C-alpha cells in the first residue's frame, strides 16, 4: 500500500511517531489510513530511533489485519526535519516522542500531540469549531481546533498519557497497545472525517 500522491492529498498530511517505527506508529498509521480512506488525507509514520527499512512487527501486523487494515509495503523510517515540516498534524505515541519532534521544526509545537491528549482535546471540539478554525486543509483545521482546547481540557497525568511500548514483549502487551490506541483514536477519526 503506497501513500496517496500529492494531487490527492488536498485535505492534509498526518505523521505518526513512535520510537522504532515498527509497532505503535505503523499500527496507528495504518488504522488511521483505513478509517480515513476516501478523505484525501495522507497518513505516514516515522521513528525517533527507527529500525530503518524494517517491516511492521509481526504482532502489530496481525492486529492490523484483524481490524481490516493493511501492513504490507511498510518500511520503517527515521524522523527528519523535512518530514515534520511537511505535516499538518503530528501524533506521538507518547509525549516524550514530541520532545524529539518539535526541536527538529519548532513550528510543529502548534500541531503536535500525544495520541491520548489529542483524543481528549478533540472530544471537546464541535464540528462548528473545526469549520471555523484556521488552516489551509481539514487536518490543519482539526489541529488548530485541538490547540484551542489546551488549557480548557484537563491534561492526563503523565503515567496515563502514553501508549505502552510492546517491542520485544509478550502478545498481551500488543493487545494492551491496541486497547490503549482504541480508546483515543475514535475521537480523532471522527474529527478528521467530519
Could you give the residue ranges of the DSSP H alpha helices within 36-94? 58-66, 81-85
Q: What is the mean pLDDT of residues 165-175?
A: 95
Residues paired with residue 150 on neighbouring β-strands, in sequence order: 153
Q: What is the pLDDT of residues 69-79, one digit of tens each?
A: 999 999 999 99
Q: What is the pLDDT of residues 96-124, one digit of tens each?
A: 999 999 999 999 999 999 999 999 999 99
d(CA 62, CA 105): 34
Tell me which residue of 93, 79, 100, 77 sits closest to 178, measured CA to CA.
93
φ, ψ of residue 131 to 5 degrees: the values are -60, -35
Q: What is the pLDDT of residues 116-159, one digit of tens each?
A: 999 999 999 999 999 999 999 999 999 999 999 998 999 999 88
Tell me which residue of 50, 74, 32, 22 sits closest to 181, measured CA to CA.
32
User: How far is residue 39 CA from its own chain's centroid?
Assistant: 16
User: Is residue 57 classed as helix, strand or coil in its secondary structure?
Assistant: coil
Q: What is the mean pLDDT of residues 19-45?
A: 97
Q: Are 18 and 27 in contact (CB under 8 A)?
A: no
Residue keyed to cell 501486523: 61
Does the pLDDT of residue 162 top 60, yes or no?
yes
Amino acid at each position: 500500500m503506497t501513500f496517496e500522491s500529492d494531487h490527492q492529498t488536498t485535505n492534509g498530511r498526518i505523521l505518526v511517531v513512535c520510537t522504532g517505527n515498527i509497532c505503535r506508529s505503523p499500527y496507528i498509521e495504518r488504522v488511521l489510513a483505513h478509517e480515513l480512506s476516501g478523505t484525501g488525507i495522507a497518513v505516514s509514520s516515522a521513528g525517533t530511533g527507527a529500525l530503518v527499512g524494517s517491516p511492521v512487527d509481526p504482532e502489530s501486523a496481525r492486529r492490523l489485519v484483524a481490524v481490516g487494515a493493511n501492513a504490507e509495503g511498510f518500511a520503517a523510517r527515521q524522523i527528519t526535519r523535512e518530514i515534520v515540516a511537511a505535516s499538518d498534524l503530528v501524533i506521538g505515541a507518547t509525549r516524550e516522542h514530541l520532545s524529539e519532534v518539535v526541536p527538529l521544526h519548532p513550528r510543529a509545537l502548534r500541531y503536535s500531540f500525544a495520541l491520548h491528549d489529542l483524543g481528549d482535546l478533540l472530544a471537546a471540539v464541535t464540528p462548528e469549531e473545526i469549520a471555523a478554525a484556521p488552516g489551509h486543509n481539514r487536518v490543519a483545521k482539526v489541529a488548530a481546533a485541538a490547540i484551542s482546547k489546551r488549557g480548557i481540557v484537563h491534561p492526563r497525568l503523565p503515567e496515563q498519557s502514553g501508549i505502552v511500548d510492546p517491542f520485544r514483549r509478550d502478545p498481551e502487551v500488543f493487545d494492551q497497545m491496541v486497547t490503549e490506541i482504541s480508546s483515543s483514536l475514535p475521537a480523532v477519526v471522527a474529527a478528521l472525517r467530519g
